[in-house]
Amino acid sequence: MVEENRKKIFSQSNWKDYKFQLQNRINGADLEKYFVLSESEKIGIQKTVRLSVATTPYYLSLSHPTDPNCPIRRMIVPNEEETFLSPEESPDPLQEESLSPVKGLTHMYQDRALLFANHECSVYCRHCMRGRKVSNSLERMDRDNLEECFDYLRNHPEISDVVLSGGDPLNLSDSKLEWILKELEAIDSVKIMRIGTRNPVTNPFRITDALCSIIEKYNTDRLSIFCNTQFNHPIECTLEAKEAILKLLKAGVSVGNQAVLLKGINDSGEIMLELHQKLLTMRIRAYYLYDPEILPGSRGFRTPLQKGIEIIEYMRGKIGGMGIPQFVNDLPGGGGKITIAPNWYLGFHRESGNHVFRSAAKRSFHLSPEPIDSEYLDRYTEISPSQWEEVQSNLYSVHGKI
């Protein structure tokens, strides 16, 4: 029966109509028609309270009907782990609400603001970091709310960069999106706008010629429009997704990817490397790899911090730099993003006046001299004698192996 139900919905004649995808989203009560659910999933569907459950038929088609460990399925179907709440978790770990001067706008960094334009998504991803707002009808942004946001931006000319987010802003109608873009483009101090959307992944048919024409219309010498999306697994890199990305690129929009590190889904160097290799063939540059947020019911997705560091270390030397994301932690408590990287720099060897580095590609050790007139010698951590002895056997300088 599950296979029959899948075949029926996947064979609809208007499959490539994004409105069909939205109008036929599959909610939690109907997931049993398309999956052989595990007991854990049944409990998760019944007891989850943090976020609505829904997926487009398209995104469902990427999932496995019988394997509860399918990475796409894990992002669609809640399981029992989502119902467990831990004391360290918070619905707003980044303290965005305290940084919100008006409804729907977060002003954390002096020159940037996040505009929460919409509370709906095509798919409600189980790892969503804004579950407190997404799918909550009380968070709906009407025209008056958005006007207040525009007024705030006009009155704060230090803000030059606006992230249009949600929910998914591309779930808004073309007319409402055009109104928002027109308002932002008319604010002299706003020079950059970034669209945060997962629709190229979950409903790529939303990237229509009409939508791209609107975006291109306001992608002017006054306002530069970028797009950041979220591909988390190679399975998501489909032909339909690539076609959507190419349309955005033709509208003059640079596209970056912000993956989220998710336990049991993409937490290996091999999977992340394959994902970013595919993204480059789709002309998407790597941007961020997020350490998971401390959200209610998120214990099933969180990974050790070291896991992300190891993944970046694994990727370095195996793919060009534009395919390697920055591993970031958006600090709990509203501290903003910080980058975390493998330790390629071992320290300063004072006797020889050299810095000691570890090669990502060859795993060898390399020397780079400090300028002889440097005034920063006391700023460096010195390599210990035992470390220096350890690296001697595989040490290189500009003249080759030492």
Rounded CA gap, 178 and 187, in Å? 15
- Where b means 16+ CB within 10 Å and e means fewer, 146-178 reads bebbbebbeebeebbbbbbbbbbbbbbeeeebb
Give the CATH fold of the 97-339 domain: TIM Barrel (3.20.20)
Pick from 223-232, 273-282, 318-327, 332-341: least confident: 332-341
- CA-wise closest residue to 284 among 249, 309, 320: 249
Mean pLDDT of the chain: 95
Rounded CA gap, 83 and 43, in Å? 8
Q: Which two tokens stand for residue 402?
A: 């030492």
Cβ–Cβ < 8 Å for 117, 165: yes
Look at residue 370 in the predicted model and tell me its pLDDT.
Answer: 96
Q: Which two tokens stand for residue 61?
A: 């088609």
Cβ–Cβ < 8 Å for 85, 297: yes
Look at residue 2 in the predicted model and tell me its pLDDT.
Answer: 97
Half-sphere exposure of 389 (CA within 13 A, CB side): 3
Indicate if the pLDDT at residue 380 is higher than 90. Answer: yes
**What's 119's DSSP letter?**
S
Indicate if the pLDDT at residue 281 is higher than 80. Answer: yes
Cα radius of gyration rounded to whole Å, the chain = 24
Cβ–Cβ < 8 Å for 86, 78: no
Indicate if the pLDDT at residue 347 is higher than 90. Answer: yes
pLDDT in tens, 154-197: 999 999 999 999 999 999 999 999 999 999 999 999 999 999 99
Indicate if the pLDDT at residue 49 is higher than 80. Answer: no
What mean pLDDT comes out for the span 50-58? 94
Look at residue 232 in the predicted model and tell me its pLDDT.
Answer: 98
Rounded CA gap, 187 and 131, in Å? 30
pTM: 0.95
Pick from 102-106, 122-126, 128-132: least confident: 128-132
What residues does each domain of the chain span?
Answer: 97-339, 345-401
What stretch of H or E contains 305?
A: helix 305-315
